[in-house]
Chain A
Amino acid sequence: MKYVMIDGATAVISVEGAFNLCRTAIVNTELNSAYQQGCTKVAVDFFKTTSIDSSAIRDLTKTRRRVHPENFMARNATNAVLAALKAAKLDEWLKHE
């Protein structure tokens, strides 16, 4: 898979560069595959992500709802990604770091 890695029961999303509409469809497909392989948790690693648009925010919000908030977390958000998350108070996703 290109953007999703499986680490035990956790599907780890890592998108290099812009996390946008072009990538969300692939991420969702790969996430569904991860669920089928038994993943019940999702982590978003923004280490390689330089920007995030509203399509990605929409889909991550729905992913969080699907796996339940306690099984969803994010990490390594900086610069533009962190600013975008903070504007919508979504930096609470990072609180589990």
Chain B
Amino acid sequence: MYSKSSVLVIMQEPFKIISWVKEALQKYEDIKVYTAATGLTGFAKFNEYLPVLVIVENDLPDMSGMSFSAILKDTDRGFNCTIYVLGVTSFMQNAKADYYFPTELNKDIFSMQIRTFFDRQYMRSHHSDEFERAKMRQNEFLPAYLETSTFKVDTIYSPFSELSGDGIDYWYGEDKEGLYGLLFDCTGHDIVSFTQVGEIRALLKRGCKYFQLGTISSLGEILKNANEDLFALHGDDTTPTAAILFFFDFKKNVLHYCSAGIPNFFIRHENSDAMNEILMENYLIGYEENVIFEEKELSLEGIDEIVFSSDGLSELMFKENIDNAKHDDVSAILIKILKCNVGKTDVHYEHLSERKVIS
């Protein structure tokens, strides 16, 4: 790993260059400057400190700066560092340095190059940190494994490339007789999709909470409202999202669900290993402004297990001749129903903190 804040100057008389470097990088307080007087000591110092930038004069006592550059760039440690060669009067083939400066060095131009280089380094580092924070934040939103005496809920959440455009959530009601949940897939599986996740989650979850309170009467109405809100917020720039909402009414032993472009879900019956596919057809939210989303019901009689998933998973299940092991964000909510307790009102609820994240 390169030291993002160190420079190696390989020159016999480095003091002028060191003062220019330090002056140019005043705003970066933690940058260290190391020195070496020859090419061979330069290799040793590089291996010791792994600087992100090497400034080498061409006229070294033991080798040319361009030879130093060509050798360092082909090592496993040095291939990605940046090398400036100073005092160049003619070019050698295959020198491999990043920048070449003439004998008459212009202080302003040199200082600007150094400053620009470290500004870019800083921005890269900053973006990388932001990226890591986004990944942590994404995982914080994953619901915990949930187990009650009526059901168990677990998840699979596997982004296509670190940040996912999928979202999942579930929770039980205060009456302790229902399991509510949502799964959505912001179309695409790139950073654009990821940026939409928070908004879609908020819109759908708000609707589900109103549904739970009885203010909204159907899951279809939640999707309709979310769809209208998306168009009100983004107009023609609205991006479509596939989603499914569900509500397990364990008192009546019925599953209510409403899809918006999620193509299917899977059920497994008691005493069977086979997963059966339930197909659905409906508009995506964010596709057309005035569309209806129809809620459907499924009796839970005889059903042991239900799997809701984004198409990133369903397109891989029970299919032949697949040439891509994974081609999209994958997310799923896996629900096991414990038959003996369905319908009882004195169920005991227990949260477990463990959750499954595959990435």
A6 at the interface (CB under 8 A from B): no
Interface residues of A in 16-56 (CB under 8 A from B): 18, 20-21, 53-55
User: Is the CB–CB distance between A58 and B188 below 8 Å?
Assistant: yes
Interface-side segment among A7-15, A70-78, A86-94: A86-94
Query: CB within 8 Å of A: which of B146-181?
Result: 165
Contact residues of A: prevailing secondary structure: helix
Among B185, B261, B284, B327, the residue within 8 A (CB) of A20 is B327
Main secondary structure of the interface of B (DSSP, over half): loop
**Closest Cβ neighbor of A62 among chain B residues:** B239
Check if B118 is an interface residue, CB within 8 A of chain A.
no
Contact check, A55 vs B261: say whether CB atoms are below 8 A apart: no
How many residues of A sit at the interface, in one of the four size bands? Answer: 20 to 34
What residues of chain B lie closer than 8 Å to A53, measured between beta carbons? 189, 327-328
B311 and A54 contact, CB distance less than 8 A: yes
**Residues on A with beta carbons closer than 8 Å to the beta carbon of B315:** 80
In the bound complex, CA of A89 to CA of B193 (Å): 21
Please tell me if the beta carbons of B283 and A88 are within 8 angstroms of each other in the complex: yes
Contact B281 A89, beta carbon cutoff 8 Å: yes
Chain B residue with Cβ nearest A22: B327
How many Å from the CB of A76 to the closest CB on chain B? Answer: 20
Provide the residues of chain A in CB contact with B279, threshold 8 Å: 87
Within 8 A of A (CB), among B238-253: 239-240, 242
* A58/B240 contact (C-beta < 8 A), A21-B190, A88-B261 known: yes
In the complex, per-residue mask of B128-158: 1 if CB is within 8 Å of any chain A CB, else 0: 0000000000000000000000000000000
* Residue numbers in B under 8 Å from A89 (CB-CB): 261, 281-283
Any A CB within 8 A of the CB of B236: yes
Asked if B5 is an interface residue, CB under 8 A from chain A, the answer is no
Interface flag for A84 (CB, 8 Å): yes
30 A-B interface contacts by CB (under 8 A): A18-B324, A21-B188, A21-B189, A53-B327, A54-B165, A54-B185, A54-B193, A54-B242, A54-B328, A55-B187, A57-B240, A58-B193, A58-B239, A58-B240, A61-B239, A61-B284, A62-B239, A65-B236, A83-B263, A84-B263, A86-B263, A87-B262, A87-B263, A87-B280, A87-B281, A87-B311, A88-B240, A88-B263, A88-B283, A89-B281
Ordered nearest first, which 5 A-B pairs have the shortest CB separation?
Answer: A87-B263, A58-B187, A88-B261, A54-B187, A55-B188
